[in-house]
A and B are shown apart, each in its own frame.
Chain A
Amino acid sequence: MKTKTTMRTALWIALTAAVTTPGWAQNVEDIVRRLEANRIHGTSRAESVMTVQDRFGSRESTMISYSRGQDESLIEFTSAAERGQKVLRTANEIYLFYPDAAELIRLQGAALRESMLGSDVSYEDLTGGRTLLDTYRVTLEGTERVNGRATWKVSFEARRRNVAYPRQTMWIDQEWYVALRAEQYALNGRLLKEMTADRVEQVEGLWIPMRMVISDVLKRDSSTTIEIRNIQVGLPLRDDLFSLEELSW
């Protein structure tokens, strides 16, 4: 089972709906539980735009994403260049569907580090699995202001080695329980990725990051912005939506 990452958390918060659990954090574990609770929900459907900026310019891809619970999600690209391409995440695996290919592609292992559509988001960032508290030891580093908002600065240190990001730091909004900023590091302490959520909106009682900027520090002059344009939560979804049969339909 793949370990869950902060990028995944943030990304799926952005791409899907989340359910906020009311209450007030008592300690750092509570803060992280509240952060996690913000994204655990029944079902969601979101229409998003992903803008990838690199040294050659910028390009947009549009997508519709569906999610159910913690482990099931489906992204379908709708922009002309990628129309019909799909990414299915089940509990343990990621499958890619390309209309021009006669077979599904199952990603695992090192292949998960591939970039999704040349963006700063890797398929590894989408993988599901354990909760943050299962994967990381967490420490409250203090409080800081991000974009004028009060946040808890929380550091995450992986409990095991087979984790995409052995160390992370997140700045979690004290009111919304949304990570407004995150940094992911390699085992040797090298910064790998940065994420900021610069627009957070309340939808159906949930605080959802509607615009996120992700930057793979190893890719020079590159950043990816994911913006949710429309989101619905708690809607009925077909049972077979997240199946392999449906994927290649």
Chain B
Amino acid sequence: MIRTLDLAWRNIGRNRRRSVLSMVAVAVATMAIVFLFSYIEGMKQDMADNLIRYYTGEVRIRHENYGDWEHLSPLHLSVAELQDVLTGVETMPETAAAVPRLTVPGAVFREDQRIGMQVTGVDFLREIPFSGIDERVVQGSLNEITGGGDSDDRTTPALVGSRVMERLGLSSGDHFTVVVRTGLHGTNAMTFRAAAVADFPVASLNEVAVWVPLERVQHLARMPDQAGEVLVQLNRGSVRELGAAGATAEIATGAGAVGSEARPLEVSHWSTINTTYQFMEYAQQIYNFVALVFFLLAATVIVNTTMMVIFERRREIGTLSALGMSQGELVRLFFTESAILGFFGALAGLAAGVGISLVVGQVGMDFSAALEGIDMEISRVLYPRVNLRSSVGVFVFSFVVSAFTSYFPTRRITRIQPIEALRDE
């Protein structure tokens, strides 16, 4: 075994260019896959974070029939008796935080244009720890908004997405009037003042979001003590103890959605809600397949170089056979060579892939232009995240594939008679 390893090392060193080519092929494939998986991991983490902060929470409570008519934004299918529901949810030990939100579709009319908006009523004091909205403020301050209520000039202070400001041509402190549909199927309008500007990470949100104190939107939409949804963050300990489904069931009990006189509410854990994230989970299988294709392409390079090795070294092989090296020993020799090349190639690729992922993970990849107008819960700037398990998996897979690709051409050489090999020109 030691003799085989020595011989393999010596053979690798004898033709460095060929060896480097093989290693580079494995390294490039490994690097690409490690980076791809880091990118996907970053995208999934980002999407999960955005979903939980801005769309679904960890548990979402809404009217049980809302989903059937979601495309029509049925405001009347709301969470009624909001204060009771909130109190019930917040008293559950499974609840870490809960926020009510009431989003009404609306429009600003400018010249002959209708500019779509989304006015969301929120409880800012609850939102700050829940969604970290204060960290997204890039202009102005939430203080004026959390101060609440109408100001002297009959405008309502609002937190506005930075793209909303651009679309409406607003400066900080400017006002604009949004016409919305109400929960009574009518229309109403309210004038808002851009007291603070937020840079929401999700492009589609940043283009339409106008966040206003909940009670103002309840008044605007004629929906007192109602919200469109209540989002809940779960207590970590409860999730560990009960599991996500168990904790969600407890929240349903707290919301009064269980029992003979249950409120007509649907209580769902975010992982069960049909979102783009679920699509990402399916897409992961496709990416795994893409990774396999990458490896197979790299393997063809290794097979090719191994074949070249065989043809270039026929006389050597013949000599080794004539000197008494068995077929099995020859196979082991070439296999060991491939394994060494595969190991170091995969290691180099892993290091490069992780390195690039870490660097890009700090700098970020800006997809603002590409995501403009696209309704996905994904941030405009993505940060790849190295996943240790998948990275090690890619390394092992890369090493194994590259090592075993030498098997078939190596077997072929064992069939060459020493005399034929020695005669070879």
Q: Any chain B CB within 8 A of the CB of A163?
A: no
B190 and A101 within 8 A (CB): yes
Contacts of B219 in A (CB 8 A): 100
Q: Any chain B CB within 8 A of the CB of A110?
A: yes
A82 to B182, CA, bound (A): 10
Contacts of B222 in A (CB 8 A): 81
A96 to B186, CA, bound (A): 14
Contact bitstring A96-109, B, C-beta under 8 A = 1, else 0: 10101111011111
- CB-CB nearest in chain A for B108: A105
Contacts of B181 in A (CB 8 A): 118
A109 to B220, CA, bound (A): 26
Which stretch from A51-59, A167-175, A195-203 is at the chain B interface?
A: A51-59
A102 and B186 within 8 A (CB): no
B114 and A96 within 8 A (CB): no
Contacts of A106 in B (CB 8 A): 109
A52 to B186, CA, bound (A): 10
B188 and A100 within 8 A (CB): yes
Contact bitstring A56-100, B, C-beta under 8 A = 1, else 0: 100101000000000000000000011001000000000010101
Q: Any chain B CB within 8 A of the CB of A141?
A: no
Q: Any chain B CB within 8 A of the CB of A237?
A: no
A96 to B107, CA, bound (A): 13
Q: Any chain A CB within 8 A of the CB of B70?
A: no
Which of the residues A105, A109, A118 comes within 8 Å of B177, measured between beta carbons?
Answer: A105
Q: Any chain B CB within 8 A of the CB of A187?
A: no
Give the A-B pair count, Cβ closer than 8 A: 75
Q: Any chain B CB within 8 A of the CB of A117?
A: yes
Question: Given A56-B76, A61-B186, A109-B113, A102–B155 Cβ distance below 8 Å?
Answer: yes
Interface SS majority for chain A: mixed
B112 and A102 within 8 A (CB): no
A118 to B104, CA, bound (A): 14
- CB-CB nearest in chain B for A98: B189
Q: Any chain B CB within 8 A of the CB of A114?
A: yes
A52 to B189, CA, bound (A): 20
Total contacting residues, chain A, CB less than 8 A: 25
B184 and A103 within 8 A (CB): no
Least Cβ–Cβ distance between A22 and chain B, in angstroms: 41
Least Cβ–Cβ distance between A118 and chain B, in angstroms: 5
- CB-CB nearest in chain B for A107: B109
Which of the residues B74, B112, B154, B182 comes within 8 Å of A109, measured between beta carbons?
Answer: B112
B184 and A102 within 8 A (CB): no
Contact bitstring B348-364, A, C-beta under 8 A = 1, else 0: 00000000000000000
Least Cβ–Cβ distance between A85 and chain B, in angstroms: 7
A98 and B188 within 8 A (CB): yes
Which of the residues B153, B187, B191 comes within 8 Å of A117, measured between beta carbons?
Answer: B187
- CB-CB nearest in chain A for B220: A100
- CB-CB nearest in chain A for B190: A100
Q: Any chain A CB within 8 A of the CB of B111?
A: yes
- CB-CB nearest in chain A for B187: A117
Q: Which of B69, B107, B111, B184 has the most CB of A within 10 A?
A: B184
Interface residues in B169-190 (C-beta closer than 8 Å to A): 175, 177, 179, 181-182, 184-190
- CB-CB nearest in chain A for B77: A56
Contacts of B179 in A (CB 8 A): 96, 98, 105, 114
Which of the residues A59, A103, A111, A117 comes within 8 Å of B114, measured between beta carbons?
Answer: A111
Contact bitstring A134-169, B, C-beta under 8 A = 1, else 0: 000000000000000000000000000000000000
Contacts of B69 in A (CB 8 A): 56
A108 and B111 within 8 A (CB): yes
Contacts of A100 in B (CB 8 A): 188-191, 219-220
Interface residues in B66-119 (C-beta closer than 8 Å to A): 69, 74, 76, 107, 109, 111-114
Q: Which of B154, B181, B187, B219 has the most CB of A within 10 A?
A: B187
- CB-CB nearest in chain B for A79: B186
A114 to B106, CA, bound (A): 11
Question: Given A109-B111, A111-B114, A101–B184 Cβ distance below 8 Å?
Answer: no
A105 and B154 within 8 A (CB): no
Least Cβ–Cβ distance between A77 and chain B, in angstroms: 8
Interface residues in B323-347 (C-beta closer than 8 Å to A): none
Question: Given A102-B175, A105-B177, A54–B189 Cβ distance below 8 Å?
Answer: no
A59 to B191, CA, bound (A): 26
A240 to B107, CA, bound (A): 30
Question: Given A59-B184, A101-B177, A102-B155, A96–B189 Cβ distance below 8 Å?
Answer: yes
Which of the residues B177, B186, B220 comes within 8 Å of A103, measured between beta carbons?
Answer: B177
A103 and B191 within 8 A (CB): yes
- CB-CB nearest in chain B for A106: B109
Contacts of B185 in A (CB 8 A): 52, 54, 56, 59, 117-118
A110 to B114, CA, bound (A): 7
A114 and B114 within 8 A (CB): yes
Contacts of A59 in B (CB 8 A): 184-186
Which of the residues B175, B186, B191, B220 comes within 8 Å of A82, measured between beta carbons?
Answer: B186
Least Cβ–Cβ distance between A110 and chain B, in angstroms: 6
Contact bitstring B285-300, A, C-beta under 8 A = 1, else 0: 0000000000000000
A59 to B69, CA, bound (A): 18
Least Cβ–Cβ distance between A53 and chain B, in angstroms: 11
B112 and A56 within 8 A (CB): no
A56 to B66, CA, bound (A): 12
A110 and B112 within 8 A (CB): yes
- CB-CB nearest in chain B for A97: B189
Contacts of A98 in B (CB 8 A): 177, 179, 188-190
A81 and B114 within 8 A (CB): no
Least Cβ–Cβ distance between B301 and chain A, in angstroms: 58
| Other A-B pairs beyond A82-B188, A98-B177, A108-B111, 7, CB < 8 Å | A56-B69, A85-B188, A101-B177, A102-B154, A105-B189, A117-B185, A118-B187
Interface CB pairs A-B, < 8 A, 26: A56-B76, A56-B185, A59-B185, A59-B186, A81-B186, A82-B187, A85-B187, A98-B190, A100-B188, A100-B191, A102-B155, A105-B179, A107-B109, A108-B111, A109-B112, A109-B113, A110-B114, A111-B107, A111-B109, A111-B112, A111-B113, A111-B114, A114-B179, A116-B187, A117-B185, A118-B187
